[in-house]
Amino acid sequence: MPGTAVVVTDSTASLPAEVAESRGIEVVPLQVVIGATVYDEGPDGATPEMVADALREFRPVSTSRPSPAYLAEVYADLAADGAEEILSVHLSAEMSGTHESALLAAKDSPVPVTVVDSRQVGVATGYAALSAADVLDGGGTVADAAEAARERAAAATALFYVDTLEYLRRGGRIGAAAALLGGALSVKPLLRIEDGRVVNLDRVRTSARALSRIEDLIVQAAGAQQVEVCVSHLANPERAGELAGRLAERLAANLEGRDVWCGELGAVLGAHVGPGMVAVCVAPLLPARTGG
């Protein structure tokens, strides 16, 4: 349809397929390399279970961004389908080259492409893409939608617990949290995403205490705001489910009937944090908005 603008994001944004489809958001897969085999992230390619199994078995696991050529093809296809502008919202440029690929692909696009670095990882990027779609659906400009995406991402709080820092260390994604490595054997590290990077938040003695601390910090971050909440995990469904249930109770007034999303982390992010990880994202809704 002429005059339309389309939101593009990547698979690390962790949007349920039915949500992305219903909102008209195009999701571009990152890739996972297990041994010598390259898979697209997704149910028909690399799954969280595959990654968790490979990590447990000490098989080599790495990830890669979509190439500029691939993204350029996505943009060209969207233009051929009638898109007149594209807003491409991606995970932190500090953590992945996906943002750079999008910038390079935008130069060859037949229609204007605005690229947003969410400075986030995981569903916080997904919430940013949803807020951008809200603005476009409401008749706003791509510039307005890009600003909404940045605002939503900046307001989100993403915290996570890992059983070990080893996988983050292997992938070079540990950032300032590297200070934890010396004493990591006897503690459970709590980490957060801050300005696009993984940083040390706290350390506690047990996993139960770690999750309790995350729960309290998420409730504190929500304050009196209307929010959306997502609990993610890798091979730790019982603890994630329990945490999601407690947050749904404690944040009932903030959620106003919205569900707490709870599910397995995608394969790409899972490759960097390892089995046992539990993450929570709380994302305040933008002012004067009732969803997304």
165: pLDDT strictly greater than 80 = no
The one-letter code for the residue type at 179 is A
Q: Examine the domain organization and report whether 146 and 165 are in the same domain.
A: no
pLDDT at residue number 292: 44
Q: Examine the domain organization and report whether 177 and 191 are in the same domain.
A: yes
Q: Examine the domain organization and report whether 148 and 166 are in the same domain.
A: no
Please choose, from the candidates 132, 39, 48, 52, the residue with its C-alpha nearest in 3D space to the C-alpha of residue 90: 132
- Could you read off the pLDDT of 218-274 as tens digits, one per residue? 999 999 999 999 999 999 999 999 999 999 999 999 999 999 999 999 999 999 888
pLDDT at residue number 188: 80
Per-residue burial over 238-260, b = 16 or more CB atoms within 10 Å of its CB, e = otherwise: ebbeebbebbbeebeebbeebeb
1: pLDDT strictly greater than 50 = no
CATH code for the domain in which residue 175 is found? 3.30.1180.10
Domain boundary among 136, 154, 172: 154
290: pLDDT strictly greater than 60 = no
Q: Examine the domain organization and report whether 133 and 256 are in the same domain.
A: no
> What strands, in cross-sheet order, belong to the sheet with 113-117?
26-28, 4-10, 83-90, 113-117
**Spatial CB neighbours of 70, under 8 Å, sequence gap ≥ 6:** 28, 101, 105
Per-residue three-class SS string for the chain: CCCEEEEEEEHHHCCCHHHHHHHCCEEECCEEEECCEEEEECCCCECHHHHHHHHHCCCCEEEECCCHHHHHHHHHHHHHCCEEEEEEEECCCCCCCHHHHHHHHHHCCCCCEEEEECCCCCHHHHHHHHHHHHHHHCCCCHHHHHHHHHHHHHHCEEEEECCCCHHHHHHCCCHHHHHHHHHHHHCEEEEEEECCEEEEEEEECCHHHHHHHHHHHHHHHHCCCCEEEEEEECCCHHHHHHHHHHHHHHCHHHHCCCCCEEEECCHHHHHHHCCCCEEEEEEECCCCCCCC
Q: Examine the domain organization and report whether 111 and 214 are in the same domain.
A: no
Give the mean model confidence (pLDDT) for residues 278-287: 96
pLDDT at residue number 174: 58
pLDDT at residue number 173: 58
Domain boundary among 103, 128, 154: 154
Rounded (10°) angle between helices 142-155 and 123-137: 150
- Could you read off the pLDDT of 89-117 as tens digits, one per residue? 999 999 999 999 999 999 999 999 999 99
Residue 57 counted as domain residue: no
Give the mean model confidence (pLDDT) for residues 180-191: 65
CA separation for the pair 280, 14 (Å, rounded): 12
CA separation for the pair 226, 58 (Å, rounded): 42
Give the mean model confidence (pLDDT) for residues 183-187: 58
pLDDT at residue number 178: 54
Q: Name the burial class of residue 265, with classes exposed (0-12), middle (13-18) and buried (19+) by CB atoms within 10 angstroms of its CB.
A: buried
Rounded (10°) angle between helices 237-250 and 207-222: 30
How many structural domains comprise the chain?
2
Mean model confidence pLDDT for the chain: 91
Cβ 237 vs Cβ 265: under 8 Å: no
**Spatial CB neighbours of 44, under 8 Å, sequence gap ≥ 6:** none
203: pLDDT strictly greater than 90 = no
pLDDT at residue number 69: 98
Give the mean model confidence (pLDDT) for residues 9-32: 96
pLDDT at residue number 2: 37
215: pLDDT strictly greater than 70 = yes
Residue 20 counted as domain residue: yes
Find the domain containing 248 and state its range. Answer: 157-284
Residue 56 counted as domain residue: no
pLDDT at residue number 44: 92
CA-only gyration radius of the chain, Å? 18
- Could you read off the pLDDT of 24-39 as tens digits, one per residue? 999 999 999 999 999 9
| pTM beyond 0.95 | no
Lowest mean pLDDT among 24-33, 198-207, 275-284: 198-207
CATH code for the domain in which residue 150 is found? 3.40.50.10170
Give the mean model confidence (pLDDT) for residues 158-166: 86
Give the mean model confidence (pLDDT) for residues 138-167: 93
Looking from the CA of 70 toward its CB, the CA atoms found within 13 Å total: 16
